[in-house]
Amino acid sequence: FYNLATQVDTLDQSKTYLLFCERGVMSKMQALYLREKGFTNVKVYRP
């Protein structure tokens, strides 16, 4: 989560981001964080 928080300003908001983690908890939290920062194309992959 720290890496995302420190580099969020370098990400292109027009791109789609697909987040994945083993259990889905962290990816959901990071997706929420990105949405709060104004990202609209954020998806969470759940196998």
Q: What is the pLDDT along the chain (47 residues), one digit of tens a residue?
A: 789 999 999 999 999 999 999 999 999 999 999 999 999 999 999 87
Catalytic residues, by residue number, are 21
Residue whose pair of structure tokens reads 């994945």 in the numeric block: 20
* pLDDT of res. 2: 83
- Output the pTM of the full model: 0.87
Q: How far apart are CA 21 and CA 6, in angstroms?
A: 19
* pLDDT of res. 47: 79
Q: How far apart are CA 47 and CA 35, in angstroms?
A: 22
Please give the C-alpha separations between residue 23 and each of 1, 26, 37, 40, in angstroms, as whole numbers.
15, 8, 23, 23
Residues near 46 by beta carbon (within 8 Å), at least 6 away in sequence: 24
* pLDDT of res. 1: 73
**What ranges do the domains of the chain cover?**
12-44
* pLDDT of res. 29: 95
